[in-house]
Amino acid sequence: MRSRPAPTSRPVSGGPDAASEKLGFRPLYAQVRDRFVQRLVEGAWQPGQMLPSELDLAAEIGVSQGTVRKALDALASERLLVRRQGRGTFVAEHDEARILFQFFKLRRDSGERSFPESRILASGRVPARADEREALALAAGDEVVRIERIRLLSGEPVLVETLSLPATIFGTLAADEVPNNLYGLYATRFGVTVSRAREKLKAVALGEEDAAALGVAAGTPALLIDRLALSLEGTPVEWRVSRCLTEDHHYLSDLG
């Protein structure tokens, strides 16, 4: 686990050494965590796969079980792994349940939540606009896959959204293969795991087109959600701007 001296058979007995020579100090369990993340990024550990037991991992790396445990617990709290007592530790999957819980904050006012169905309005690979280049950190001349769709809850249209994806990653995405659960597709087809996102919310008046698509009058107030989704490595992989009707729905945010 240390970065400099060649590990002998039983390397670590106290704390870190190479790390403490520098000013920065990175605990052993954090280094182990990073090593595990690397395996996820490389795809050595696939979604749904069961990891070796804590003791096996500890023996392989040459640290104690407790240190491996801290690393695995950290990754579980980041929702990259799922731990189940008696069964094992697994790589998290982007199934609908997880998306619904982690990334979909819109609820019926009654409190129930359901996964929205989607209807594609337009889709294609086009040169990135300036705002798309800025959001996704692209260079001039880069392309994006741009998707416009409408989403319905219980059959009612509640939002229209525009998605912009870097063509360098998603260039081969065809319009007719856009599923309801996009993040699952990103993972299985492109090996990209969306691990977190930041959303900026505003209130706006709907324009003519959006209003028509949603079947309401132009000028109707709508919740604007500007989402930037980041991969495991922290690079932006999706920019999504949604305009939502909030007559019967709300965005739920838990603080604290």
Partner DNA sequence: TAGTGGTCTAGACCACTTC
Partner DNA sequence: AAGTGGTCTAGACCACTAG
Stretch in the footprint of a second copy (CB under 8 A) among 7-15, 37-45, 161-169, 215-223: 215-223
88 touches DNA by CB under 7 A: yes
Identity of the residue, 204 or 212, whose beta carbon is nearer to a second copy in the bound complex: 204
Identity of the residue, 13 or 253, whose beta carbon is nearer to a second copy in the bound complex: 253
Identity of the residue, 14 or 141, whose beta carbon is nearer to DNA in the bound complex: 14
In DSSP terms, which residues pair with 99 in a beta bridge?
none
For residues 124 and 146, the answer to whether their CB atoms sit within 8 Å is yes
Q: Considering only residues 8, 9, 14, 130, which one is a binding residue for DNA as defined by CB under 7 A? A: 14
3-state secondary structure of 17: coil
69 touches a second copy by CB under 8 A: no
DSSP state of 62: T
204 touches a second copy by CB under 8 A: yes
22 touches a second copy by CB under 8 A: no
Residues 88-117 touching a second copy, rule: CB under 8 A, are 102-103, 105
CA separation, residue 120 to residues 164, 165, 180, 217 (Å): 14, 15, 10, 22
For residues 148 and 113, the answer to whether their CB atoms sit within 8 Å is no
Q: Which one of DNA, a second copy, none interacts with residue 95, CB within 5 to 8 A by kind?
A: none
221 touches a second copy by CB under 8 A: yes
Q: Give dist(CA 41, CA 71) in Å, integer.
A: 16
Smallest distance from a second copy to CB 7, Å = 27
196 touches a second copy by CB under 8 A: yes
In DSSP terms, which residues pair with 149 in a beta bridge?
120, 161
Q: Considering only residues 4, 84, 87, 198, which one is a binding residue for a second copy as defined by CB under 8 A? A: 198
For residues 226 and 203, the answer to whether their CB atoms sit within 8 Å is no
Q: Which one of a second copy, DNA, none interacts with residue 190, CB within 5 to 8 A by kind?
A: none
236 touches DNA by CB under 7 A: no
Q: Considering only residues 222, 231, 239, 242, which one is a binding residue for a second copy as defined by CB under 8 A? A: 222
In DSSP terms, which residues pair with 181 in a beta bridge?
none
In DSSP terms, which residues pair with 243 in a beta bridge?
160, 224
Smallest distance from a second copy to CB 244, Å = 8
213 touches a second copy by CB under 8 A: no
In order, the DSSP letters of 88-115 are EEEE----HHHHHHHT--EEETTS---P
3-state secondary structure of 42: helix
Q: Give dist(CA 233, CA 237) in Å, integer.
A: 10
Number of residues near DNA (by CB under 7 A): 34
Residues that bind a second copy (CB under 8 A): 78-79, 102-103, 105, 194-205, 219, 221-224, 226-227, 244, 246, 249-256
